[in-house]
Amino acid sequence: MHTFELQQRINRFFAGVETFHDFTEPLIKLSKSAEGMEANLVGVAEGGASINQWAHQIYSYLTNVQNTTSKFNQRKFFKSLEHFNSAINQLQLTDTTESGFITNLSSEVEKFATIYETFISVQSSGNALPLILAAKVLTAKIEVFYETLRLVEESIGTYDLPANSESSLTLLLPSHLNLVDFAGKLIAIQNLYTELCMLLSVSESTHPLRISKIESGSLWTKVFGDSRVIGMITSFMEQTASWLFRTYTTDGKISSVPRKVEAIEALLGLSTKLAEAGVDTSTMKEHIGKSAISISKNLTEILDGQSSIMINEETISVGSEINKGLLGRTTPLQLKAPDEVIDIEPDSNQPSDS
């Protein structure tokens, strides 16, 4: 798991804290009952003439637990407890490797639920004592858990911001990569940036592609660059990934990115995007054609071997494209260009509309 994925899970956990309140707030109240009883326990331990008075006050605390729990909405309490336990288990790093810290806390929650159910069934002072003691222990552990998550989030988070003229690009390629492929994809991102800087007349020395963070295994990177260039790179990656994944076939093959200028233009709309960015393209046809081939080559390098990608936290995958129903057509999808048509044959296993 990349640190950004862990950070996202932690942020989702804290975003859902309100759904835990019907569990955590009663838990804190029960914990305070145990804290209030501590001075009386000290009095009993010291003995003396006041021992009976201290014991009576302890008994009063225990009998008052029933009054405390009667104010709780039991259905909401247990529902919130389940939400909390589910949320902490979703913080596990992998499906196969469990964190002892999380597993132990989850076990404590389940243990407390059992003690609470026992008390609800028989609301005696004998059952109240283990309930409030367990509440005190669990409250302390949850507080430590929250603080630990905050420390982890602060230590792994990326808080650097783009400059006024910059935008960020975050890219995750989830397939595991060897060193050569990993380096090749990073170089392809840089090559895309350089090519588009030239087309948009952006000074790369003044507006370089800056690294915010890179993590390996699979590739996750966050970079900053000129807003217009980054915006165009993002658009091209999204369009190309969607097109490639729509061409995914039943034998597991993904088509290559087109290499003919007209087909690339039909897919990416490079000339149109440059014109929209204020570039006079009337005398740049040959230059744009050469750049289109370079862009196609680098997009192929970046996306090769991937069945899904995440761009700025938005996932594009074979599954998501199939779910859009694009493979359910009875006629081929076509990318039309003046001199070339690229056919994307429909899946022969899909039912016809007739």
pLDDT digit string (tens) for the chain, length 354 residues: 677 778 888 989 999 999 999 999 999 999 988 876 766 665 555 565 566 666 667 777 788 888 899 999 999 999 999 999 999 998 886 654 556 888 999 999 999 999 999 999 999 988 988 999 999 999 999 999 999 999 988 887 766 778 889 999 999 998 888 999 999 999 999 999 999 999 999 999 999 999 988 988 889 999 999 999 999 999 999 998 888 877 765 444 555 666 677 888 888 888 888 988 888 888 888 888 899 899 999 998 999 888 889 999 888 887 766 566 544 544 444 433 434 434 433 444 444 443
pLDDT recorded at residue 334: 41
Please say whether the beta carbons of 27 and 93 come within 8 A.
no
pLDDT recorded at residue 42: 59
Round to whole Å and give the CA distance between 164 and 190.
21
pLDDT recorded at residue 242: 87
pLDDT recorded at residue 345: 39
pLDDT recorded at residue 147: 94
Helix/strand/coil (H/E/C) assignment for every residue in the chain: CCHHHHHHHHHHHHHCHHHHHHHHHHHHHHHHHHHHHHHHHHHHHHCCCCHHHHHHHHHHHHHHHHHHHCCCCHHHHHHHHHHHHHHHHCCCCCCCCCCHHHHHHHHHHHHHHHHHHHHHHCCCHHHHHHHHHHHHHHHHHHHHHHHHHHHHHHHHCCCCCCCCCEEEEEEEECCCCCHHHHHHHHHHHHHHHHHHHHHCCCCCCCCCCEEEEEECCCEEEEEEEEHHHHHHHHHHHHHHHHHHHHCCCCCCCCCCCCCCHHHHHHHHCHHHHHHHCCCCCCCCHHHHHHHHHHHHHHHHHHHCCCCEEEECCEEEEHHHHHHCCHHHCCCCEEEECCCCEEEECCCCCCCCCC
pLDDT recorded at residue 354: 38
pLDDT recorded at residue 53: 63
pLDDT recorded at residue 256: 61
- Predicted structure pTM score: 0.63
pLDDT recorded at residue 39: 63
